[in-house]
Structures are given as C-alpha cells and as structure tokens.
C-alpha cells in the first residue's frame, strides 16, 4: 500500500542564480559509457566496496546485496525488513545500514543478522535515515533527510523547502546521540575528509554541501563546503586520493527555482496532482569530485539514455561504481579513461 502524501506547507525561498554549468547540457569531461552489473532488483540507491572488494548495495525490496565485480554474481547479504539506503563498511567486517524506515542498523554479513542501533534522536524519530560515516575512533555521523516526508514522497521535501533535515552524531560506546546540524534541506550524503578533519553533508534541496569541522581551531564550527551547485547533490563518498565524490542525481530545474520564489499556492496545487503526473528530473548520468578546499576537479556527465539518476558514486580500483534510485543494476565506468 502506498503512503499517503503529507500536506505541503511551502516556504518561500530565493534560490541562488543558476550557474553557467547548470545551463550547459553537458560539462567538459564526458562520463565513459556505463557497463551494467544486473541485480535482479530495483533501486540500488547507494554503492560501496568492502575490504574484500565486494560491491555492496541496498535495494527496494529490503535486501542488502553483495556483487562480485568480475563475474557479476549477486548474493543476499541481509534483509533489513525496510528500505536500505546508505551503507558504511566497518573495519571489523560488519556493515552500517541507513534504513529509511527502520533507522540506523548494523549488519553481520556472514550470518545476515540485523541489529537496530538508532531509531530516534532528541525524542524525535529518524524520518529518513539516509547516510552514515565513521571516524577513526568509531564515532558515527548519520544524516536524517526529512522529518516531514517519507522516502516515497521525497519530492515533497524539495517542493516545500522547510528544512527539517539534520546531521546526527552517535557514540557507539555510550549510545548517546546528538543533533550537530539542524535545519538542513534534505540532508543526504555524508563523507569524511581523508585526514578526518571534517565531515561533509549534502543538502540536496539547497544545491550545496555543508561542512562540520571535527579537529583543529574550527572544531565544532560549520560552514558551506560547496555552494550553488549546478544540480541536486545526492550521496557522497571519499576516494582513495582524498577527493570527495558527489553523485549528481539531476541538473537544476529552472521551473522549480521559479516555484520557490513565487506564491506557495502554486506548489500546493502541483503537489495535489497524482504522483504519476508530477514532472520528473531530467535524465542524465553525472558525478563530480571536489578537493579538500571544495573546488570541483572532476565533472563527468553523459546522456541518461543508458543509465540515469545517479544517486551514489564510489571510486575503487581505477573505476567508478554508480548506484541509482530507479535502475535495476549498478553502473561501472573506467575512471582512467575519463577526462
């Protein structure tokens, strides 16, 4: 049974002017053709590679899958009983799973055992547990995308722009959880700097990445890591060379920007339409990479005819693994041939 749409409570917002890159159909570097790793299941929203070189993803039927990147063999690692999104392999071989319905989970890949770690913070349930990373001391940073809209109605959060997302710090040793960033516009991907000095979280609905400093003189302070992006940033990952990879699910939409500036009634009327009649994001396959100063150093894009709505990107062994909320396979591209 589909979830009922929450009523829309639009907030007027003045989006930053679209940058030139948002108006260009494609960037300077083509993304190489995408090779598919079929899964026999839909919606591999996040993709990660564990210490054994196995590619991991969670799909819409609740399973976490492990994929042999060479032979393509797929096996079920666990079944969360919900909707697994972000994944984070742990040093001991276990796996953190952000489940949009069940919260933060921990999975034992050998047995398939699923343990719930965190369901609510500050007396409020995690609305859409989205992504997580761990620091060297085991501290977990996890994003809660929206407290207003379930995953099935994620578009409502982008239309409303009420900013109910948050970044949470969870201490496994004590079980203590604390909101460290609040008021985020669809808090999504999370990545840790290669030196552990800061954590970055994507604000999909605000076209930007926020940074929380963890060490040094700015520890505890936050700022904008990258502003006015040309598309909707989704999941993040840190590459072997320290680059922060950003999956760009879709380009900026000038109509949506216009709706944010205008009377809220227009957005309420649009939201009242059946979901099948709502305009979807423009089809493309797109990933960018930023250095430690937030500068875009790779910008890889291609038409979305063969693979589209890239929601995650993971660099491994000279290539990029791609995930998508709407596809039924993982994508693979050779990074060395890009650019």
Q: What is the pLDDT of residues 205-215, one digit of tens each?
A: 999 999 999 99
On whether residue 150 sits in a domain, the answer given is: yes
Phi, psi of 152 (to 5 degrees): -60, -25
> 52-85: buried (b, 16+ CB within 10 Å) or exposed (e) per residue?
eebbbbbbbebbbbbbebeeeebeebbebebbbb
Please say whether the beta carbons of 142 and 108 come within 8 A: no
pLDDT of residue 301: 96
pLDDT of residue 339: 43
Residue 309: CA atoms inside 13 Å, Cβ hemisphere, count? Answer: 13
Q: What is the pLDDT of residues 20-48, one digit of tens each?
A: 999 888 888 899 999 999 999 999 999 99
On whether residue 135 sits in a domain, the answer given is: yes
By percentage, how much of the chain surpasses pLDDT 90? 91
By percentage, how much of the chain surpasses pLDDT 70? 98
On whether residue 3 sits in a domain, the answer given is: no
Q: Does residue 154 carry a pLDDT above 90?
A: yes
- What is the DSSP pairing of strand 29-30 with strand 296-303? parallel
On whether residue 11 sits in a domain, the answer given is: no
On whether residue 20 sits in a domain, the answer given is: no
CATH of the domain at 32: 2.120.10.30
Please say whether the beta carbons of 311 and 247 come within 8 A: yes
pLDDT of residue 103: 98
Q: Where are the alpha helices (DSSP H) in the chain?
A: 20-23, 154-160, 254-261, 264-271
State the average pLDDT over residues 59-86.
97
On whether residue 255 sits in a domain, the answer given is: yes
Q: What is the pLDDT of residues 185-222, one digit of tens each?
A: 999 999 999 999 999 999 999 999 999 999 999 999 99
pLDDT of residue 25: 83
Count Cβ atoms below 10 Å from residue 241 Cβ, excluding itself: 9
Please say whether the beta carbons of 96 and 112 come within 8 A: no
pLDDT of residue 279: 75
Could you give the C-alpha distances from 313 to 35, 168, 226, 316, in angstroms and in order? Answer: 14, 22, 18, 10
pLDDT of residue 282: 87
CB neighbour list of residue 245: distance below 8 Å, 6 or more residues apart: 191, 236, 237, 238, 239, 287, 288, 289, 313, 314, 315, 320
On whether residue 272 sits in a domain, the answer given is: yes
pLDDT of residue 338: 44
Q: Does residue 77 carry a pLDDT above 80?
A: yes
Q: Work out the mean pLDDT of the chain and round it to a whole number.
A: 95
pTM: 0.96
Please say whether the beta carbons of 325 and 58 come within 8 A: no
Q: Does residue 10 carry a pLDDT above 50?
A: yes
CB neighbour list of residue 123: distance below 8 Å, 6 or more residues apart: none
Q: What is the pLDDT of residues 225-283, one digit of tens each?
A: 999 999 999 999 999 999 999 999 999 999 999 999 987 999 999 999 987 777 778 89
Q: What is the pLDDT of residues 83-134, one digit of tens each?
A: 999 999 999 999 999 999 999 999 999 999 999 999 999 999 999 999 999 9
Q: How far apart are CA 205 and CA 322, in angstroms?
A: 21
- What is the DSSP pairing of strand 103-108 with strand 113-118? antiparallel
On whether residue 270 sits in a domain, the answer given is: yes
pLDDT of residue 2: 56
| CA proximity to 148, closest of 32, 44, 271, 41 | 271
pLDDT of residue 27: 81
Residue 318: CA atoms inside 13 Å, Cβ hemisphere, count? Answer: 3
Q: How many domains does the chain have?
A: 1
Question: What domain range is 312 assigned to?
Answer: 25-337
| CA proximity to 8, closest of 299, 284, 320, 260 | 260
Count Cβ atoms below 10 Å from residue 116 Cβ, excluding itself: 13
Q: How far apart are CA 104 and CA 101, in angstroms?
A: 9
């Amino acid at each position: 049974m589909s979830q009922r749409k929450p009523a829309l409570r639009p907030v007027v917002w003045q989006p930053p002017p679209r940058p030139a890159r948002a108006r260009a159909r494609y960037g300077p570097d083509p993304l190489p053709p995408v090779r598919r790793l079929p899964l026999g299941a839909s919606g591999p929203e996040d993709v990660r590679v564990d210490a054994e070189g196995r590619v991991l993803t969670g799909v819409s039927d609740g399973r976490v899958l492990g994929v042999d990147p060479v032979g393509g063999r797929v096996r079920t690692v666990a079944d969360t009983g919900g909707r697994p999104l972000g994944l984070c392999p742990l040093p001991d071989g276990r796996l953190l799973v952000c489940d949009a319905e069940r919260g933060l989970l921990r999975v034992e890949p050998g047995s398939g055992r699923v343990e719930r770690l965190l369901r609510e913070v500050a007396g409020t349930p995690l609305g859409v547990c989205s992504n997580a990373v761990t620091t060297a001391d085991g501290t977990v940073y996890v994003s809660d995308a929206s407290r207003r809209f379930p995953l099935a109605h994620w578009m409502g959060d982008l239309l409303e722009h009420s900013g109910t997302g948050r970044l949470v710090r969870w201490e496994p040793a004590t079980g203590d959880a604390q909101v460290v960033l609040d008021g985020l516009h669809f808090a999504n991907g999370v990545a840790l700097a290669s030196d552990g000095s800061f954590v970055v979280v994507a604000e999909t609905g605000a076209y930007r990445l926020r940074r929380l400093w963890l060490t040094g003189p700015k520890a505890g302070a936050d700022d904008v890591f990258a502003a006015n992006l040309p598309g909707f940033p989704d999941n993040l990952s840190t590459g072997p060379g320290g680059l922060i990879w950003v999956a760009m699910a879709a380009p900026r939409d000038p109509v949506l920007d216009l709706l944010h500036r205008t009377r809220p009634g227009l957005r309420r009327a649009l939201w009242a339409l059946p979901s099948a009649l709502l305009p979807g994001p423009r089809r493309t396959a797109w990933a960018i990479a930023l250095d430690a100063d937030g500068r875009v150093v790779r910008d890889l894009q291609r038409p979305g005819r063969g693979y589209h709505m890239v929601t995650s990107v993971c660099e491994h062994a000279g290539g990029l693994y791609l995930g998508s909320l709407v596809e039924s396979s993982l994508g693979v591209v050779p990074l060395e041939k890009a650019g």
